Chain A
């Protein structure tokens, strides 16, 4: 039953994009509306017989999905468009991707982004795991607030306050010690760590929440020191959560724009910043291509994270 519904869904989406490609994009809205109606109709009809959602529920939910994902899909499609303009489908090409890989600025930005994401994810994972563990074990009152606030805080606020902190507090303080400290990769990594810790901590704590406490006591009881208990029992058991948290931190870091914008200073460009600079001139297919790659990377990470920590996707945390 589920397979059938998925099949119909895929078919309708194929029809939608088929009609769109054939007409050069002009009939996009009409095609989309027609496909949605048809799909909802088919699924709704099936639903009457098999106690599944009816027509309108299908229609509205499909509309919501379409609203969310059609722009993303269009970006991907146009990254293969053999035209300088984002208006009309001309033909298939991978030229924009090739151009991307020979663009010095772009490659440097990508390298920056990757190293920042790796660094921030690594540090945030260690600190976030520690925070998650202690929140689970000692049930502190203040720590959850301290850890989760950066997650909920408006990014612009975090960005500005970090900028002021780095320039007005850290830089003079280190300067007095004779250390030259300016905005750059380090400050971006520190900034990213601050808001990534919370996500890792949430995931690790959720992983611990359902666990039988006596397992950890049993380890101590059978002769393991606290450190051995952590290494041999606790860590292997929370590992899926730790990895999921690390991937989450990585994706959050790699596509962060606002906080990076404030804390990177002059000269240090990351991919999102580079893309922003490019579209100030025009939305070229090259931007589509780099966005598509970034999207693929993020999607892959989220999928792995979801696989490793299924409770993450249950919207419980």
Chain B
């Protein structure tokens, strides 16, 4: 039995359906992520799990028990809020002690647990300070310590890293993973950042317009997106519209206007004649000077239109001869000053048959 189960949950606000018949199950010990653009319903869903909102239809079960009649304070589920929501009139230690006090722990027990929690988030010295004296990252840690100290069954995190700067965010990501492993509590994480989701999660539910588009492990989600929305939302991708001409098991031939016939992978059961989209990750595309030998089935001549040098990689924008435009991502892994092509260079863009994914939705 799953630890947390969402069964056909729907939540409407007037004419808007924020969460539309969502079902999913979170296993114990998972780092589960709800990923989606703002307004996709992920925060509404989180608030219903926490108990601040109730579903219009469907049920939320924790260890098999319906939570509908359980108020937030009675649910063994804690939330880390985007704004941290620390109590400004209490010290860090008092903040962390709050859930323990509410649960009726003995004072000596409380102080021991608070000390452990402070150690967990490396803030041993800050116990007597007030939240306004802390930096954003420290507040974040206090919020984490406070929601973890009484060992909830599930920890909900609502865009907890949103307010931090890029460098700190990366540090906190690593800390979050470590912490989750250390305490063994199930995390349900809400974010609109695909990088965060891919880096942290054991499984991700990609949400759009109140529905779950795909629920999978990060690498499956990235490598085998189920539809255009997921392909486009997770990472960068080239999308070409075309039509299926031949199917041989997972090998699919696709006709794309201007590119001719292209070999790619597809789900089983595709039928020739259906309109489909070819999805191709930029890092799968190789670039070579015209005439250089490339032993790849898909080869198309083009010209470098632009490039973005990002340090570790360079993204090239290629204008193919037939008018299509595509992106290619090349690592700058060779020593010395990295540079492959200039704007205007004639190149051949090529990719292996198994690189492209055929999407019909």
- Chain A interface residues toward B at CB < 8 A: 212, 214-215, 217-225, 228, 232-233, 236-237
Contacts and interface: CB of A to CB of B under 8 A. Distances in A.
B87 A221 contact: no
Interface stretch (B98-106, B165-173, B253-261, B338-346): B98-106
B73 A221 contact: yes
B116 to A, nearest CB: 17
Contacts of B89: 236-237
B71 A222 contact: no
A172 B147 CA distance: 59
Nearest to A223: B102
Interface in B124-156: 146-147, 150
B105 to A, nearest CB: 11
22 contacts: A214-B82, A214-B83, A215-B87, A217-B85, A218-B81, A218-B86, A218-B87, A219-B87, A220-B73, A221-B51, A221-B52, A221-B72, A222-B73, A222-B78, A222-B98, A222-B102, A222-B147, A222-B150, A223-B102, A223-B150, A224-B102, A236-B89
A221 B78 contact: yes
A101 B98 CA distance: 52
Interface of B: 50-52, 71-73, 77-79, 81-83, 85-89, 98-99, 102-103, 146-147, 150
Contacts of B71: 220
Contact of B88 (A222, A223, A232, A237): A237
Contacts of B72: 217, 220-221
A217 B98 contact: no
Contacts of B147: 221-222
A222 B52 contact: no
Contacts of A221: 50-52, 72-73, 77-79, 147
Contacts of A217: 50, 52, 72, 79, 81, 85
A221 B95 CA distance: 13
A222 B81 contact: no
Contacts of B85: 212, 214-215, 217-218
B83 A225 contact: no
Contacts, number: 60
A243 to B, nearest CB: 14
Nearest to A220: B72
A236 B95 CA distance: 14
B14 to A, nearest CB: 16
B69 to A, nearest CB: 15
A224 B73 contact: yes
A232 B85 CA distance: 14
Contacts of B77: 221
B99 A222 contact: yes
A218 B79 contact: yes
Contact of B73 (A212, A225, A232, A237): A225
A232 B52 CA distance: 19
A222 B86 CA distance: 11
Given A212-B83, A222-B99, 8 more contacts: A215-B85, A217-B72, A217-B79, A218-B79, A218-B87, A221-B51, A222-B73, A236-B89
Contacts of A224: 73, 98, 102
B115 to A, nearest CB: 18
A223 B81 contact: no
Nearest to A225: B73
A295 to B, nearest CB: 34
Nearest to A215: B85
Contact of B146 (A214, A222, A236): A222
B295 to A, nearest CB: 57
A242 B82 CA distance: 29
A228 B147 CA distance: 18
A223 B102 CA distance: 6
B150 A233 contact: no
A87 B150 CA distance: 75
The 6 closest A-B pairs by CB, nearest first: A223-B102, A218-B85, A222-B99, A214-B85, A214-B81, A220-B72
Contacts of B81: 214, 217-218
B325 to A, nearest CB: 44
B79 A219 contact: no
B99 to A, nearest CB: 4
Contacts of A236: 89
